[in-house]
Amino acid sequence: MPAESDLQKLRIDKADRAQRGSSSALPWIVTIVVIVISLVVGLWFWKGQSSGLIVETIRVRVAEGAMTERDMVSLNATGYVTAAAKIELASKVIGRVAWVGVEMADKIEKGQELVRLEDDEFRARVAQERGQLEAARARLAELVAGSRPQEIAQAQAAVDRARAELANSERNLERLKVMQSDAAVTTQEVDDASTQVLSRQAEVQTRVSALELAKLGPRSEQIDAQRAVVRQLEGSLALAEIDLGNTVIRSTIKGTVLERNVEVGEFVTTGFVGDRGAKGYVVSIADLNDLRVELDISQNDFAKVQPGQPCRIVTDAYPDRPYDGVVDLIAPEANRQKATVLVKVRVLNPDALLKPDMNASVSFLSTKALASTRAAASQPGTSESVSSQPAAAILIPSSAIQDGAVYVVEQGVARRRPVTVGATSVTGDVEINRGLIGGEDLIVNIPAGLTDGAKVQINTKP
């Protein structure tokens, strides 16, 4: 029937259905296999990472009766690294910055030019003062030299002319007196002639005095006054030249630039300094080869600190890099509010890693322990020289030393620690003078690729 034939066409063959089912399940099987492999690999990698490298360690031991660094420490304190000489260079004159020749962290020499100010006004002032001084010196030279011969000759000629006029007036008066007896002239005319004679006599006296002054020259008081004027102008010129020289700001020490505070075009002043106005200082410099650690020591521990006492300095930034120090200054008075005494420890071997204002921990070494160590080292039959370090306190295998450092295990992590080595014993062990205090888990037979901070798993060596 037609209807049944149509139904036969719509029926799904069993073989085709099985084939389609097997082909659709294959991708899921592959995916599951990949996931399982990834989990296994990840688990293996995580286990390897968490366990870390397997290393052999030994416990660092201190020789019986020996003294270690820890035994010599009488006091521990914290403070800050400071520069012994930190200078904020300011300008002595007011002006605008024309040139800046340094940047932060630059190394500078004593006397090196750092900043220049505009100097046009200062040069003009120097020229003005120099001109006034030259005029005053010329006037002084004129007074010291006295009158010239021509001036004396001129004064003499004036005297001669005045005397000639006086003689002429006297003769005229005599004639008038003779004529008066004959009633030829009036009494008034005779009186006028007599007055003229008196005037000519006064003129002669004036001209004679002028001639004498010309011959004597200026008074000593005039010369002294002019010399004072010259000295005053010399001082004014020197001050103007100093101000001109102060437009160039130079370094007063050999050191390092800590801060550059000005830029070209900014205004610097010697007086009031505003937040956004003129600058009071141009650069800040310090000698980083002369560093101190400032500490506030409690009055209860003050008896443990002495001038010249040796110290060990460690910074928070580089805990594995100790520095030697010595007590350099103890404040002459205590701080009443904090009940502390300021102590400054000088760093004997500073390097580029030490920076001012770093946190630092200082261990004050016991002078009594050091004295006993020196006495033991100086006993007869001892080949060691007298040293501030304990002798033969710690011996470790040479396989534990790599490039001047050892690795110790701290909470499952390898930490690199620089050490100072001494003599080698007959057994091949190496003496450690500094860097270990005893009780550390020390890695021996250092595996290749071991780095500071790597996770490790201890396989303790008996």
The answer to whether 325 and 362 are in contact (CB under 8 A) is yes
pLDDT tens-digit map of 115-166: 999 999 999 999 999 999 999 999 999 888 877 778 778 888 888 888 888 8
CATH level 3 topology of 50-66+392-462: 2.40.420
Q: Are strands 359-365 and 73-83 parallel, antiparallel or unpaired?
A: antiparallel
Token pair, residue 126, equals 């120097």
Report pLDDT for 66.
Answer: 53
User: Strand, helix or coil at 12?
Assistant: coil
330 phi/psi in degrees, rounded to 5: -120, 125
Q: Is residue 72 within 8 Å of residue 310, measured between CB atoms?
A: no
Q: How far is CA 114 from CA 229, 270, 279, 377, 397, in A?
A: 37, 17, 15, 52, 54
CB atoms within 10 A of CB 354: 22
Question: How many angstroms from the chain centroid is the CA of residue 146?
Answer: 59
**Best CATH choice for the domain 68-83+296-387 from the list 1.20.1070.10, 3.40.50.150, 2.60.120.260, 2.40.30.170:** 2.40.30.170
Token pair of 264 as six digits: 């070209």
How far is the C-alpha of 121 from the C-alpha of 324, rounded, in Å?
A: 53
Please write the tens of the pLDDT for every residue from 251-294: 999 999 999 999 999 989 886 555 555 667 899 999 999 999 99
pLDDT for 355: 92
Return the closest-CA partner of residue 247 out of 124, 87, 94. Answer: 94
Averaging pLDDT over each range in 70-84, 191-205, 332-346, 446-460, which range is the top one?
332-346
pLDDT of residue 383: 38
Pick the CATH number of 86-118+250-286 from 3.40.50.1820, 2.40.50.100, 3.40.50.261, 3.40.50.10680: 2.40.50.100
Q: In the chain, where are the structural domains located?
A: 50-66+392-462, 68-83+296-387, 86-118+250-286, 127-241
What does pTM read for this prediction? Answer: 0.56
pLDDT-derived band at 237 (thresholds 50, 70, 90) equals very high
> What value does the mean pLDDT take over residues 19-28?
56
- The pLDDT of residue 174: 85
- Burial (Cβ within 10 Å: 0-12, 13-18, ≥19) of residue 306: exposed
40 or 53, which is more confident?
53
Best CA proximity match to 402, nearest among 458, 459, 446: 446
Handedness of CA 143, 149, 150, 151 (dihedral sign): positive
| Fold designation for 127-241 | Helix Hairpins (1.10.287)
Percent of the chain with pLDDT over 90: 36
- Measured distance CA(381)–CA(439) in Å, rounded: 30
Q: Read off the pLDDT of each residue in 24-33 and give the average, rounded to a whole number.
A: 66
> What is the predicted pLDDT for the residue at 41?
58
- pLDDT of 248 higher than 90: yes
Q: How far apart (Å, rounded) are the C-alpha atoms in residues 253 and 246? A: 17
Q: Where are the beta strands (DSSP E) in 50-169?
A: 53-59, 73-83, 86-90, 95-100, 107-108, 113-117
- Report residue 200 as tokens: 């000519």
Q: Decide: 345 and 365 in contact? Cβ < 8 Å.
A: no
Q: Concatenated DSSP letters for 278-329? A: -BSEEEEEE-TTSEEEEEEEETTTGGG--TT-EEEEEESS-TT--EEEEEEE
Rounded to whole angstroms, the Cα distance separating 359 from 346 reads: 15
Distance CA 58, CA 24 (A): 61
